[in-house]
Structure 1
Amino acid sequence: MRPSPAAAVTLVGVGPGAPNLLTLAAVQAIESADVVAYPVARADAEGMAAQIAAPWITAEQRRLPLLFPMVAEAEPRQQAWREAADALAAEAERGLAVVLLCEGDASLFASCSYALLALADRHPSVPVAVIPGITAAAAAAAAASGQGLPWPLALQQEGLLIRPTPETPAELEALLDWAAAQQAVLALLKLGRRWRWVQPQLERRGLLGSSLFAQRVGWPDQLLARADAITADEQPYFSLLLIRQGWPEVLP
């Protein structure tokens, strides 16, 4: 293991699933850390971020699982973020280099972002760094393009909106109208159970053939397909949809 840098907490985006998608900066930060922290949904769970980064975590490094409960109530989540910030700060204040592994990008819909905010509020003197990671939307577009489904995320003056899938058909309808008017591509995350009503809605608008469905991007069992090939059944939580409603006028 390399000598530890100055004591700090570094949030490291480890990408959507494939270990070989980690950046060089991410690998160097993990290899240099004294303590490797990572979120878990249950006390007995390993954590997806830790699984992704496993090739670079050594036996000499101390693992620090941090419980981030997947519950709807605000207070348990807020308490967990405060406790995570306190635990990270305690390690850094002992003179140790700490990394907090974040699935995907460390700043985009990341649970670790709440630990970052709690650190700034409760321990402002602790140095913090953030290393970005590849998002699932970017990885899905790239992987599809390499499988005969060319899918540039955005071209020329197109916009790109990345957000969770709306909760209701009416919200999705309004979002699709807005995106069509703005010439924006939509990347809808956390598709999961919503696909049962999203699929027929896109079919009615003639958008299934121009949309990309992606599931568990970066993992060995990833699925990438045109959305018209996916039946209207409930899908896993880690599913997403890329929707393009038209192309720019100037193309090769």
Structure 2
Amino acid sequence: MVDLSLAPLSLSPTFAPDQLTLVGVGPGDPELLTVAAVKALEQADVVAHPVAREGQPGMALTIASRWLQPQQQLLPLAFPMVAEPEPRISAWHEAADVLASQVRAGRRVVLLCEGDVSLFATGSYVQLALRRRHPDLPFALIPGIPSVCAAAAAAAQVAVDLPLALQQEGLLIRPCPENASDFRKLLQSARDGSTVIGLIKVGHRWPWVFEVLSEEGLLDQALFAQRVGWPDQRVAAASDVPPDARPYFSLLLIRQLWPEVLP
């Protein structure tokens, strides 16, 4: 008789022939996919992946390509990068309908999501559209490593120790504010609340972000990371990044304070 009390507990989703799985593939390095993510990819009949324009592979597919099988069908789903709501809503609805039709045909389907499936993810909008338009459709989510976590880990490779949160500290992950005034308010609020900031989508805002960090004396306390997990990854102190740069796919980790009790 098997003693089930000693059996390992698995909370990973069971992949059925008629199920959709939204898979977080992490920030760039294919080695950072979870075991559950790799299993889902290996078992999939259809691999759906977001693209900004037709004919482009997209970052999520590039990350996951090592784990794909030759016989699998690739299904690009276009999500336009526009400010207007209507094209984006239409794209989410269309994606939900296409994925549902594939699942109802008896196929195992995965939808790739860069980073984590629930953190600033296109897949989250598809998830909500699926729940509203196809409430009977089974689907599961497999989390992925967010870029801010990968950046904190990569910092150690350049001898920078920047834990995202310690003891009673908070952690705020959010897009970069749109102006210097709001950024200063954010920094002050984080200081008051002993909160570390993970600031994503810095990009073209970097010149005035650099200026504010310099005024606040934070250039050497902020970690700059660009294209985390990719072969051309860059991780450095913010002071080492030229103020006139336009660093796409970049983020900042800003720790203004440290707890009193440390090793």
**Structure 2 counterpart of 1:54:** 65
Residue 44 of structure 1, CA deviation: 1.1
**Structure 1 counterpart of 2:245:** 234
**Do structure 1's residue 211 and structure 2's residue 222 form an aligned pair?**
yes
**Structure 2 counterpart of 1:177:** 188
Q: Secondary structure at the match of 2:137?
A: coil
Residue 59 of structure 1, CA deviation: 1.4
The whole-number CA distance in structure 1 between the counterparts of 2:79 and 2:178 is 23
**Structure 1 counterpart of 2:5:** none
**Structure 2 counterpart of 1:106:** 117
- Say whether the 8 Å CA contact 1:194–1:234 is kept in structure 2: no
- Say whether the 8 Å CA contact 1:195–1:235 is kept in structure 2: yes
The whole-number CA distance in structure 1 between the counterparts of 2:121 and 2:245 is 24
**Structure 1 counterpart of 2:173:** 162
Q: Secondary structure at the match of 2:158?
A: coil
* Aligned length, in residue pairs: 249
**Structure 2 counterpart of 1:190:** 201
- Say whether the 8 Å CA contact 1:50–1:101 is kept in structure 2: yes
Structure 1 residue runs of 5 or longer lacking an equivalent are none
Counterpart residue identity of residue 90, structure 1: S
- Say whether the 8 Å CA contact 2:224–2:251 is kept in structure 1: yes
**Structure 1 counterpart of 2:4:** none
CA RMSD of aligned residues (A): 0.9
- Equivalent residues in 2 for 1:21-60 (5 A)? 21-60=32-71
The whole-number CA distance in structure 2 between the counterparts of 1:87 and 1:236 is 35
The list of structure 1 runs, each at least 4 consecutive aligned residues, that deviate by more than 3 angstroms after superposition, is none
- Say whether the 8 Å CA contact 1:14–1:102 is kept in structure 2: yes
Q: Kindly provide the CA deviation profile for residues 43-91 of structure 1, in whole angstroms up to 9, marking residues without a partner as x.
A: 1111110000001111111010000111111100110000000000000
Q: Secondary structure at the match of 1:218?
A: coil
**Structure 1 counterpart of 2:11:** none
Q: 2:80 aligns with which of 59, 63, 69?
A: 69
- Say whether the 8 Å CA contact 2:206–2:247 is kept in structure 1: no
Percent of matched pairs sharing the same residue? 59
- Say whether the 8 Å CA contact 1:82–1:118 is kept in structure 2: yes
**Structure 2 counterpart of 1:8:** 19
Residue 5 of structure 1, CA deviation: 2.7
Counterpart residue identity of residue 231, structure 2: P
Counterpart residue identity of residue 192, structure 1: G
Residue 146 of structure 1, CA deviation: 2.6
Counterpart residue identity of residue 253, structure 2: L
- Say whether the 8 Å CA contact 1:153–1:160 is kept in structure 2: yes
Counterpart residue identity of residue 206, structure 1: G
Q: Secondary structure at the match of 1:44?
A: coil
Q: Kindly provide the CA deviation profile for residues 92-118 of structure 1, in whole angstroms up to 9, marking residues without a partner as x.
A: 011111000000000000011111110
Residue 235 of structure 1, CA deviation: 2.5
Q: 2:233 aligns with which of 211, 217, 222?
A: 222
Q: 1:135 aligns with which of 120, 139, 146?
A: 146
- Say whether the 8 Å CA contact 1:49–1:102 is kept in structure 2: yes
Q: Secondary structure at the match of 2:95?
A: helix
Residue 233 of structure 1, CA deviation: 2.0
Counterpart residue identity of residue 203, structure 2: G
The whole-number CA distance in structure 1 between the counterparts of 2:97 and 2:245 is 38
The whole-number CA distance in structure 2 between the counterparts of 1:245 and 1:103 is 29
**Structure 1 counterpart of 2:12:** none
Counterpart residue identity of residue 184, structure 1: T
- Equivalent residues in 2 for 1:112-131 (5 A)? 112-131=123-142
- Equivalent residues in 2 for 1:148-159 (5 A)? 148-159=159-170
Q: Secondary structure at the match of 2:189?
A: helix
Q: Kindly provide the CA deviation profile for residues 107-162 of structure 1, in whole angstroms up to 9, marking residues without a partner as x.
A: 00001111111000000111010000000000000011132111111111110000
